Amino acid sequence: MRLNFTLNGIAETIDTPSGQLLSDIISILDRNPESSGAYIGTAGCREGKCGRCLVIIDGEVRHSCLVPGFSIRGRKIITYEGFKTSDECSVILNGFESAGYSPCRLCLPGRVLLTKALLDKYTMPTDDQIAEGFAAVQCHCSGFLPFYEGVKTAARIRRSR
Ligand code: FES
Ligand code: FES
């Protein structure tokens, strides 16, 4: 199956067996020596629970381990590796830091992408709106309140710019 799509702003074409998932496709691209590194490469649950494989597809946060490869034709995909050097990412990381919110390195990419998608949708998300996004990651060890505060602080910094 031949697929054309955009990954972190770069047009990609790949031939993959049908039935492959987006997380597999991104891993294959990462193994290409010419790849600029699209994916954090962390093994996760592959069941849509841990949130370590989150990506943004056309503005929507999705678990790449649940996205069928054929469905990404023509779509725009952003991974944390592609997002982390942007000013937008710095604002979110500043917000997290100022609020004292620090998830582990495995959870950070997903939380940052969730926050980006939330702030693109809502200027100042409510607790319910943040909770909706939070449901995409299983780990609760860094707590709900610090995450809510981190998102709201990032929203305030973003609005003040
Ligand atoms: S690897 Fe996709 S949610 Fe865990
Ligand atoms: S496992 Fe990452 S913050 Fe809990």
Q: Are the C-beta atoms of residues 139 and 45 closer than 8 Å to each other?
A: no
Nearest-atom number in ligand 2 for the CA of 50 is 1
Q: Are the C-beta atoms of residues 28 and 16 closer than 8 Å to each other?
A: yes
d(CA 123, ligand 2 centre) in Å: 26
Which two three-digit tokens encode residue 113?
A: 């992408």
Q: What is the domain extent for residue 61?
A: 2-83
Place of tokens 């860094």: 142
76 shares its domain with 93: no
CATH code, domain carrying 153: 1.10.150.120
Tens of pLDDT, residues 91-105: 999 999 999 999 888
From 63, 83, 103, the end of a domain falls on 83
Tens of pLDDT, residues 74-94: 999 999 999 999 999 999 999
Helix (H, G, I), strand (E, B) or coil at 13: strand
Cα separation of 66 and 47, whole Å? 7
pTM, rounded to two decimals = 0.89
77 shares its domain with 97: no
CATH code, domain carrying 63: 3.10.20.30
Which ligand lies nearest the alpha carbon of 52? Answer: 1
What mean pLDDT is predicted for residues 129-148? Answer: 80
From 64, 83, 102, the end of a domain falls on 83
117 shares its domain with 78: no
* Side-chain-facing half-sphere of 83: CA atoms under 13 Å: 28
What pLDDT is attached to residue 80? Answer: 92
What pLDDT is attached to residue 40? Answer: 53
What pLDDT is attached to residue 38? Answer: 63
78 shares its domain with 108: no
What pLDDT is attached to residue 37? Answer: 63
| Any atom of ligand 1 within 6 Å of the Cβ of 52 | yes
8 shares its domain with 79: yes
d(CA 90, ligand 2 centre) in Å: 21
